[in-house]
Amino acid sequence: MVELHETAVSLGFFGDDLDPADVSNRLGATPTFGVAKGATWRTPRGSEQIARTGSWRLQVPRSIPGDLPGQVEAIFAPLTRDTAIWQELAARFAGRLFCGLFLEEGNEGLRICSKTLAEIADRGLYLDLDIYAPEGSKTHQVADK
């Protein structure tokens, strides 16, 4: 199995009554991005938007080659270890761990150890995997149309 080319990982909580400051307080860290429903925010391209729902997101830098376990560890390291807080937030705000998996070749893979899976499960999060085909592949070309 060829090592996965690149990975992107972020933690997110989403909900209409989500207060980003409260989530930050409870988890013990400031998000990369946080907004309450109805608040104004700017997209990366500078466009002003009104949030349709509240969100709290924490990202770690992308990794080349892919290092999903290391990125998951980096996401969780500065945050509380109190699983009761995590489970309550995850249940209330659809807590998720987003993982973008970017292929450079057609047959790449990764292994997720039981420790990493247990840390995700203990926090009540769901694992959201998006797999991106290599640029120039037939699948990639169809997706771009």
CA torsion, ordered 99, 104, 108, 111, to nearest 10 deg: -30
The answer to whether residue 1 scores a pLDDT higher than 70 is: no
Range of weakest confidence among 58-62, 104-108, 126-130: 104-108
- Under the banding of pLDDT at 50, 70 and 90, the label for residue 19 is very high
54-59/96-102 β-pairing: unpaired
Q: What is the mean pLDDT of residues 79-86?
A: 96
pLDDT of residue 3: 83
- Taken as a whole, the chain contains a residue count of 145
Termini Cα distance of the chain: 30
* Residue 35 CB-half CA count within 13 A: 14
pLDDT of residue 31: 96
- Under the banding of pLDDT at 50, 70 and 90, the label for residue 45 is confident
Per-residue DSSP letter, 63: B
